[in-house]
Amino acid sequence: MSHHASDSYYVPHGTRWPIIGSLGLITMMSSAAFWVNNSEVAPWTFLAGVLILIVMLFGWFGEVIRESESGLYNAQVDQSFRMGMMWFIFSEVMFFAVFFGALFYARMFAVPWLGGEGTGALTNDLLWQGYSATWPTAGPAELGGEFQTIPAFGVPFINTLILLSSGLTVTLAHHALKMDNRPRLIFWLLATVFLGFFFVYLQISEYKEAYQHLGLTLGSGIYGSTFFMLTGFHGMHVTLGAIMLTVIAVRSMRGHFKPENHFGFEAVAWYWHFVDVVWLGLFIFVYVY
Amino acid sequence: MSNENTHKHAHAHDHHDDKPTGFLNRWLFTTNHKDIGTLYLILALVMFFVGGAMAMIIRAELFMPGLQLVEPDFFNQMTTMHALIMVFGAVMPAWVGFANWMIPMMIGAPDMALPRLNNWSFWILPFAFTMLASTLFMDSGGPAAGWTLYPPLSLQGGQSFAFVVFSIHMMGISSIMGAINVIATILNMRAPGMGLLRMPLFVWTWLITAFLLIAVMPVLAGAVTMLLTDHFFATSFFNAAGGGDPVMFQHIFWFFGHPEVYILILPAFGVVSEIIPTFARKPLFGYSAMVYATASIAFLSFIVWAHHMFTVGMPLTGELFFMYATMLIAIPTGVKVFNWVSTMWKGSMTFETPMLFAIGFVVLFTIGGLSGLMLAIASVDLQYHDTYFVVAHFHYVLVPGSVFALMAGTYYWLPKWTGHMYSEKWGKIHFWLSAISVNILFFPQHYLGLAGMPRRIPDYSTQFADFNMISSIGGFIFGASQLIFLGVIIHCVYKSRVKAPGRVWEGAKGLEWTLSSPPPYHSFNTPPVIDSTTVAHAEGTH
Ligand code: HEM
Ligand SMILES: [Cu+2]
C-alpha cells in the first residue's frame, strides 16, 4: 500500500479561475444551444465563451506551473495530479467507447435487422422491402444520396504512420528530458508537434475530398454519422493534444521540467498516446473493415 | 517539526490555514472541502424542494381522474423535470456534498486532493441547473419526453431540447471532475496506517461510486450528443431510414442509466453502514463482505442494463441473459441487508433520529429491492413495464432509500458540522411523518401498476381513482413533512444553543469523531495517528 503523506500537507489557497471557467462554460454552452436554434448573435457569444475558457486555462495552469516551478509541491501533490490525469483519460476512453459501440451496434444488429435478418424479417418486408444489408450503407432510405468511402490505404494509412511515429518522437523527447539533454528534448518535441498538426492538416483535406468529391457527408446515413463523429471527435482531440504539446515545447524552451520531475510533460505524453491508440481503433474498424 | 513546516507554508501562501474573510473569498473562490461540501448540500436542498414542488403538481393533477389543473404537455414537462432535477440536482450533488465533508475527515486528510478542481466541480452546477430550469419559460416549454430522453419523441422537443442537452453536458463535466477528485483523495490522501481495508464503508462506497461516475457519465454525454446531431446535423444514429436504430439509444442510455441508479444508492449503503454500528454499539457485521458486495454490485451494474428494455424487442438470448444477470444483483444486495440486520442483532440499540432513518432505510429499501426482482423477470415485466409498478419500485429505492439515507446522514453529522445539536424531538416527528406518508404515497402505486395504470399520463380510468387519491394524500403529507426537515436544519445552524461534543454519539467510532465539533478549518494539518481505537474497522478483527 502506498502512502505519500509527508509530514505536512499542502493545500492551495483560494482561486478565482474556476468561477471564471464556469462563466466561460455557461456562455459557451448556452450560446451553442441558441446557435442551433438559429440565433444570429449566438456564434459571437459562443466565441466569447471559448475565449473566456482559454483565458481561464492559461491563467489557472499558469498559476499551477508557477507554484510547481517554485518548488511548492511535494510528492503527494504530484501523485494527485497523476491520478487526476489518468482518470480523466479513462473518462475520455469511455466517451470514445460510446461511438465505437454505436458503430458496432449498427453494423452487427441495426443494419442486418433492417435487411431482414432474424426477427427483422417483417420490418424488412413491410417497411423496407428490397433493402438488403450492406456496409457501408446510408440506410434503406439512402439518406444523403450515393457516396463513396475513403480507401484505407491512402491518406488514412499515411496518417497512421504519422501518428505512430509521433508516439515514437514524443518518447524520444521523454528520454532526452530524462538525460537532461535540452536541445534534443526540444527537437523531438517540435517534431511531434509538427507531426500532430500535419495529421490534422491531412485529415481536413480528407474531409474536403469527402464532401466535395465522394458525396460522403455527416448526413450520409449511419455510415456518414459514425464515420464523421468518430474521426471528428478524434481529430478534435489530436488538435487539442497538439496544442498541449506546443505549450510543453514552449515550456521546455523556457527551462521548465527537471529530469526527475516533469509531470506536465508526462501528462501530455499520456494524452498523446491515448489519442494514438484511439486512432488505431479507428483505422482498423472505420477504414479497413 | 511538522508545525514548523505548516507555518512556513502558511506564510508562503496567503495564510491558507485561516478561514478566508469576505463573502466572495469564502464561498466563490474557496478551495476548502467543508465550504464546498456545504455549497453542494445547499444546492441539493434547494433542488430537492424545487423538484418536490413539481412532484406536488403531479400528485395534485392525479388526485382525481380527468384533467383538472394543468395541460397534459405541462404535466409531462413536470414528470421529466422532476426526475432530472431530483436525480442530477438533488441526490447526486447531495452525495458529493457528503463526500466533500466527510471523506477527508474520515481518512485523516487536510482536504480533498485537488481543491481547486473541487471548486470548479461545484460552481458549474448552479449555472447548469439555471439553464435547465430556464427551459420551462421558453415558448416550447421544458423537455417533456421523460428523463430517459428516448428518441424520436425527445427530438420533437422544440427550442428547449438543445438547452437540455447542453445542461446535461455541464452536469457530466462537473460529476466527472468531482469523481476524479474523490478517487485521488481516497487513493492518495489517506493518513499512514489507514489501510484500504480499514477505511470506513462510506469511503469505500464512494470510491466505487466515483469509478462508476467516471465510467458512465461520458456514456451519457455521448448519448445526448448523438441526439443533438440527429436533431440538428442530419446524422442517423437513431433513425432507421438512415440505417440507425432508436433502440440503440435505449441501449446506450441504460448502459449509463443502470450504473447511475447505483451511483444514487451506493453512498447510501455507506452511510447506513456507518450509522447502524454506532447506535447498535457493535462493530459492523461482515465488514469485508460489505466491501466485496459493493464491488460486485458495481461490476454487475454494467451487465444488466437491458432489463429496462424487455419490451422493446430483443433476441430471446438477450432477454434471458439480462434477466439472470439482474437477478444476480439480489445476492450481494441481500448480503448487505443481512449484515445490517446482523449488526443490530443483540446490540444495545438506541433510536435517535439518524438510527430511525437508517432502520427505515433497511426495511423500505428492501421492499424496493423485492419489487425490482419482480421486474427483473422478463416474462412478467411485459405486464409491469411502463406502469405505476415501476414507479413504485424506483421510488421505494430512491425515496425511503437514497433520500432517507441522506436524511439519516444529515442528522448523524449535522452536530459535527455545526457544533450544535439539532432538535431530537422535531427530528423524530420528521421521521415518523415521512416514514408513514412515504408508504401511503408509494405503496398503493404497486396496485395501480399491477392493475394496469400507465406511467407519465395525466389522466386515468376511474377504476384507479381511489388508490390515486390515497397516494396523493400521502404525497402532500410527505411534501409538507420535509418543511420540518428544513426547519430542523435552520434551527440547528442558527438557533440551537446545545453544544455538540467532538464524539457526538457515544457509540461512534472513526477519525471524524476525534476532531472537535465543528472541526478545524483544515481537518488534519498533519496526519493523525491511527490505531484500532480510532478506526471503526481494524483489519483482521472481523
Ligand atoms: C435488487 C435490485 C434491483 C433490481 C433487481 C431492479 C430491477 C429493475 C428493473 C427490472 C427495472 C425496469 C422495470 C421496467 O421499466 O419495466 C427497474 C427500473 C428502475 N429501477 Fe430498479 N432494480 C433494483 C434496484 C434499484 C435501485 C437500488 C435503484 C436506485 C436507487 C433503482 C432504480 C430504478 C429506476 C430509477 C428505475 C426506472 C427507470 C425508468 O424507467 O425511468 N433500482 N429496476
Ligand atoms: Cu436498472
Q: What span, in angstroms and rounded, lies between the C-alpha atoms of B363 and A11?
A: 42
Least confident among A117-121, B392-396, B470-474: A117-121
Amino acid occupying residue A170:
V
Residue B30 carries which DSSP code? -
Same-domain pairing of A85 and A190: yes
Task: Tell whether A68 and A86 lie within a shared domain.
Answer: no
pLDDT over 90 percentage in chain B:
88
Look at residue A158 and tell me if it is in a domain: yes
Q: Which residues of A touch B179 (CB under 8 A)?
A: 87
Instruction: Tell which residue, A273, A275, A90, has the closest CA to residue A174.
Output: A273
Picking from A20, A43, A73, the residue at the C-terminal end of a domain is: A73
**Nearest by Cα to B230 from B220, B244, B216:** B244
Regarding whether A132 and A41 lie in a shared domain, the answer is no
CA distance A99 to chain B (A): 7
A44 domain-assigned: yes
Domain boundary among A29, A53, A73: A73
Q: Is there a domain that residue A202 lies in? A: yes
Q: What are residue B237's phi and psi, to 5 degrees?
A: -55, -45
Q: Residue B531 pLDDT more than 90? A: no
Residue B530 is predicted with a pLDDT of 84
Residues B37 and B100: beta-carbon distance below 8 Å: yes
Residue nearest to atom 37 of ligand 1 (CA): B394
Q: Which residue has the higher pLDDT, A15 or B450?
A: B450
Q: Pick from A137, A277, A150, A268: which is nearest to A208 by CA?
A: A150
Domain that holds residue A27: 8-73
Among A32, A56, A73, residue at a domain's last position = A73
What's the pLDDT at A121? 87
SS3 B501: coil
Is residue A36 located within the same domain as residue A79? Answer: no
The C-alpha R_g of chain B, in whole angstroms, comes to: 23
- The residue type at B51: G
Report the C-alpha dihedral over residues A89, A92, A96, A97, rounded to 10 degrees: 80
Question: ipTM score of the complex?
Answer: 0.94
pLDDT digits (tens, 9 = 90+) for B189-206: 999 889 999 999 999 999
In a domain, A52, yes or no: yes
What's the DSSP call for residue B462? Answer: G
Same domain, residue pair A45 and A119: no
- Do residues B256 and B216 lie in contact, with contact meaning Cβ atoms separated by under 8 Å? yes
Same domain, A122 and A149: yes
Torsion sign over Cα B126, A18, B180, A6: negative
pLDDT tens-digit map of B150-173: 999 999 888 999 999 999 999 999
Q: What is the DSSP letter of B494?
A: I
Considering chain B, what is the average pLDDT of its residues?
Answer: 93
User: Which has the minimum average pLDDT: B23-37, B170-184, B357-371?
Assistant: B23-37
Assess whether A43 and A115 both reside in one domain.
no
**A3, part of any domain:** no
Q: Does residue A2 sit within a domain?
A: no
Assess whether the C-beta atom of B337 lies below 6 angstroms from ligand 1: no
DSSP β-bridge partners for residue B420: B499
Residues A108 and A134 in one domain: yes
Q: Which three cell numbers stand for residue B14?
A: 496567503
| pLDDT of B12 strictly over 60 | no
Tell me, what CATH number does A220's domain have?
1.20.120.80
Question: Are the CB atoms for B273 and B340 separated by under 8 Å?
Answer: yes
pTM recorded for the entire structure: 0.94
Report CA-CA distances (Å) from A18 to A26, A263, B22, B97, B119. 12, 22, 18, 18, 6
Q: Which residue of B has its CA nearest to A64?
A: B116
Regions of chain A with pLDDT less than 50: 1-7
Atom of ligand 1 nearest to the CA of B326: 5
Q: Are A155 and A254 found together in one domain?
A: yes
* Pocket mutation for ligand 1, best pick of B393, B395, B399, B456 (most atoms within 8 Å of C-beta): B393
- Contacting residues for B319 by C-beta, under 8 A, at least 6 apart: B306, B310, B378
Compute the distance between CA of residue A54 and CA of residue B392 in angstroms, rounded to an integer: 47
Find the B258 Cα to ligand 2 centroid distance in Å: 4
Residue B248 has pLDDT above 80, yes or no: yes
- Pair (A256, A156) in one structural domain: yes
Cβ atoms within 10 A of the Cβ of A79, count? 18
Give the closest residue to B79 by CA, choosing from B57, B49, B50: B57
- Tell me how many domains chain A contains: 2
Supply the pLDDT for residue A212: 96
Q: Angle at which helices B33-61 and B404-418 pack, to 10 degrees?
A: 140
Q: Is residue A279, in this structure, part of any structural domain at all?
A: yes
Q: What is the CATH number of the domain that holds A41?
A: 1.10.287.70
Q: Does residue A68 lie in a domain region?
A: yes
Residues 6+ apart with CB under 8 A from B275: B354, B355, B357, B358, B408, B409, B412
- On whether both A18 and A79 belong to a single domain, the answer is no
CA-based nearest distance A59→chain B, Å: 13
Instruction: Please tell me whether residues A30 and A163 are part of one structural domain.
Output: no
Measure CB to CB from residue A98 to each of B113, B181, B218 and give the nearest one.
B218
Alpha helices in chain A (DSSP H): 17-36, 42-69, 75-105, 111-114, 121-122, 155-178, 182-209, 221-253, 263-282
